[in-house]
Amino acid sequence: MSRIGKLPIEIPSGVTITVDSDVISVKGAKGELTVPHLSDVTVSLEDGKAIVTRKDDERIAKAQHGLQRALLNNAVVGVTNGFEKKLEINGVGFRVSGGGQEIEMSLGFSHPVKYKAPAGVQLTVEKMTITVNGIDKQQVGQVAAEIRSLKKPEPYKGKGIKYADEVILRKAGKTGK
């Protein structure tokens, strides 16, 4: 039995889940998300809990069991609390400005770099920190990864864009004779 898949999902008050044959809709205070309903698992709603069970013990069913539960749980958490990722910008002369859907960064290139976030994702800028907020965990992570890829942190001085909780392993520089 899947250790993740067998855990029931608590459905908080104010969240409604509708299960169709091909998609599961989750509505909450922050918005609405849809999750694909995988073929080899079933989702049942019982007294304030969502329970994911697999149809048989085939290999694909075992794989989809934990995946379906994780996707559904992320949707429930997203419509109630939302998700956020923080990015820090380190480097002499590096700047960031803007907010909302679009930010502009000066990252040591000959031109400013503009980034426009997709719908459903909010960007907030505070000094040298960018916060990515949204209800879809996958989309928030993708936007944060795209912003980080504009100027990845380098190991000698640590300049670049990094996650707030990321640790950059530093290398020693050149040694003189």
Q: What is the pLDDT of residue 23?
A: 95
Q: What is the per-residue pLDDT for 5?
A: 87
Domains delineated in the chain: 9-80 (3.90.930.12), 83-163 (3.90.930.12)
Confidence (pLDDT) at 2: 67
In this predicted structure, the answer to whether residue 177 has a pLDDT above a threshold of 90 is no
pLDDT at 173: 85
pLDDT at 123: 96
pLDDT of residue 176: 73
Name the band, by pLDDT with cuts 50, 70 and 90, for residue 1: low
**Helices 137-149 and 59-80 sit at what angle, rounded to 10 degrees?**
80
Asked if residues 170 and 158 have their Cβ atoms less than 8 Å apart, the reply is yes
pLDDT for res 175:
81
Each residue's pLDDT tens digit, 27-59: 999 999 999 999 999 999 999 999 999 999 999
